[in-house]
């Protein structure tokens, strides 16, 4: 059955808001933060500290950062704690293994699941939360890249909802303000351009890890920072926008905006263009994902001062010098398993770059090789998509010699 993602995500969410207001006996909404020790997770906890009368963290999970998670547990005393990898502290009642993400996401005392897990590993928890009828504040864009149509259909079938946390998609949601997808002519996502915006192609190809981790405007984890440097992150966001808002790929554009003040534009069929602006802080879209469709007072983000911020500039994307953008958008347009292959191959290639096994310029070569080699793989079911994901990871590892 064909579905309209924007209608599903927005309409179901509104219905859920009404139910939550009338049926929930709790005065504060319980939040599960998956990936609590990462940049999004720690930002979310700062938001929750300021909004303690509305929300409480009842479940926290981390990938492997035991010490940081232990400090958060001491501060927040959540009912559930999970560690995906590593040894849990002696005498604790922490859960362990990948299953802890699903356990946290489906608890009865959890109203909102903030999924900030890095990579495709976040997909099972999103699916489980939607089956349980939860609101998913989605910072794990790979969920929709790998299995967008499956995820949106599941949200519709079980009454769950998706609210984007990425600043670009939060901006689009704010600009749409309930408008229908047929009223939208075009979406324009902005990109900072990353640390290599002004570099030549030859210089980019030999960039060091230290170079790639110097993002000009955002403080993020290492994987997403590398994705921003290659512009793979922007390709993932285009795919995510397609699934979230039901807009065809040929009506989603990307423009470089070095100041990162305008987070996205929406152009409507009558020619009007709306833009959402704000200082580069993930705390604003996190708060909006928790409270949507309401807006609540918050003092965490600096006041917007257009005079201090000064001139805003825009540039065309140098697609030839940043091939990961076109590779990802083409994968999304191709359908089937191509997006899953693109995402998995990129994840593994970035891991190898972070480990010093390949050069920065080799990342798109490995991803393109996987897309070509696995272009016939099916994407008809979740199992088929997961098989394509595994095949892409094996392909890149084999190319690197592992």
Q: Where are the domains of the chain?
A: 5-165
Structure-block tokens of residue 110: 């959890």
Of the chain, the percentage scoring pLDDT greater than 90 comes to 85
Beta strands in 225-355 (DSSP E): 252-256, 262-268, 273-277
| Cα distances (angstroms) measured from residue 274 to each of 130, 233, 308, 360 | 30, 23, 22, 36
The pLDDT score that the predictor gives to residue 277 is 95
- Name residue, tokens 């749409």: 176
- Taking only the tens place, the pLDDT of each residue in 69-79 is 999 999 999 99
The pLDDT score that the predictor gives to residue 215 is 82
The pLDDT score that the predictor gives to residue 216 is 78
Of the chain, the percentage scoring pLDDT greater than 70 comes to 93
Question: Where on the phi/psi map is residue 86: left (φ > 0), alpha (ψ -120 to 50), or beta?
Answer: left
Q: Is the pLDDT of residue 44 over 60?
A: yes
Q: Is the pLDDT of residue 394 over 50?
A: yes
DSSP letter assigned to residue 360:
G
Q: Is the pLDDT of residue 21 over 80?
A: no
- Taking only the tens place, the pLDDT of each residue in 219-267 is 778 998 999 999 999 999 999 999 999 999 999 999 999 999 999 999 9
Structure-block tokens of residue 140: 């794990």
Mean pLDDT in residue range 116-140 = 94
Structure-block tokens of residue 365: 């070569």
The fold of the 5-165 domain, in CATH, is Rossmann fold (3.40.50)
CA-nearest of 173, 158, 375 to 289 is 173
């Amino acid at each position: 059955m064909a579905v309209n993602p924007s209608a599903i995500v927005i309409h179901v969410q509104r219905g859920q808001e009404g139910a939550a207001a009338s049926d929930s006996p709790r005065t504060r909404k319980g939040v599960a933060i998956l990936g609590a020790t990462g940049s999004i997770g720690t930002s979310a906890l700062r938001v929750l500290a300021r909004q303690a009368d509305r929300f409480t963290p009842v479940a926290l999970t981390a990938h492997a950062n035991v010490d940081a998670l232990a400090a958060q547990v001491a501060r927040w005393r959540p009912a559930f704690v999970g560690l995906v990898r590593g040894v849990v502290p002696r005498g604790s009642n922490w859960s362990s293994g990948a299953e802890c993400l699903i356990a946290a996401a489906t608890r009865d005392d959890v109203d909102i699941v903030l999924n900030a897990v890095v990579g495709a590993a976040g997909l099972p928890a999103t699916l489980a939360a939607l089956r349980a009828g939860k609101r998913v504040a989605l910072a794990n864009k790979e969920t929709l890249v790998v299995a967008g149509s499956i995820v949106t259909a599941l949200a519709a079938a079980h009454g769950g909802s998706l609210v984007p946390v990425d600043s670009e998609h939060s901006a689009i949601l704010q600009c749409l303000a309930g408008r229908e997808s047929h009223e939208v002519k075009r979406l324009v996502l902005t990109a900072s351009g990353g640390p290599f915006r002004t570099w030549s192609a030859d210089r980019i190809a030999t960039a060091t890890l230290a170079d790639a981790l110097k993002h000009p405007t955002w403080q993020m984890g290492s994987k997403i920072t590398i994705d921003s440097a290659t512009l793979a992150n922007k390709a993932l966001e285009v795919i995510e926008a397609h699934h979230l808002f039901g807009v065809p790929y040929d009506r989603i554009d990307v423009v470089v905006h070095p100041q990162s003040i305008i987070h996205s534009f929406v152009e409507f069929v009558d020619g009007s263009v709306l833009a959402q602006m704000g200082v580069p802080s993930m705390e604003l879209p996190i708060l909006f994902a928790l409270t949507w469709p309401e807006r609540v007072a918050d003092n965490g983000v600096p006041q917007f001062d257009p005079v201090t911020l000064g001139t805003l500039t825009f540039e065309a994307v140098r697609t030839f010098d940043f091939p990961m953008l076109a590779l990802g958008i083409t994968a999304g347009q191709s359908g089937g398993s191509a997006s899953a292959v693109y995402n998995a191959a990129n994840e593994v290639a970035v891991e190898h770059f972070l480990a010093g096994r390949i050069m920065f310029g080799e990342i798109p070569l490995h991803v393109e090789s996987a897309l070509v080699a696995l272009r016939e793989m099916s994407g008809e079911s979740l199992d088929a998509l997961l098989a394509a994901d595994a095949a892409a990871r094996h392909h890149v590892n084999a190319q690197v010699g592992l």
